[in-house]
């Protein structure tokens, strides 16, 4: 089953033009899962939630800067 294409927050993002078309959805899914699972393991070992908070902060930055399609709010064209 292709979870990236059928479920999750990106389900409507690609067809709606909100996500950069140069981004591979499977790579993004692998990165998200790997970082969050790794941070969860580190958090359990260290008995602290800092690793998960760090992963969340970095993933949010990545999603906003690399994955989200930027448009010029004045004319709606894709920002370069």
Domain locations in the chain as residue ranges: 3-67
CA dihedral 31→24→8→15, nearest 10 degrees, is: 160
Q: What's the chain's length in residues?
A: 80
Does the structure show a pLDDT above 70 at 12? no
Q: Which residue stretches of 11-49 are H helix?
A: 25-46
Which tokens is 15 given?
A: 């067809």
Report field, pTM of the whole predicted structure over 0.95: no
User: CA-CA distance, 21 to 42, in Å (whole number)?
Assistant: 33
18: pLDDT confidence band, cut at 50, 70 and 90?
Answer: confident
């Amino acid at each position: 089953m292709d979870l990236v294409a059928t479920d999750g927050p990106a389900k409507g993002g690609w067809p709606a033009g909100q996500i950069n078309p140069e981004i591979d959805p499977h790579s993004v899914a692998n990165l998200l899962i790997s970082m969050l699972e790794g941070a969860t393991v580190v958090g359990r070992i260290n008995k602290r939630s800092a690793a998960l908070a760090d992963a969340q902060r970095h993933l949010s930055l990545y999603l906003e800067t690399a994955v989200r399609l930027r448009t010029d709010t004045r004319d709606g064209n894709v920002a370069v």
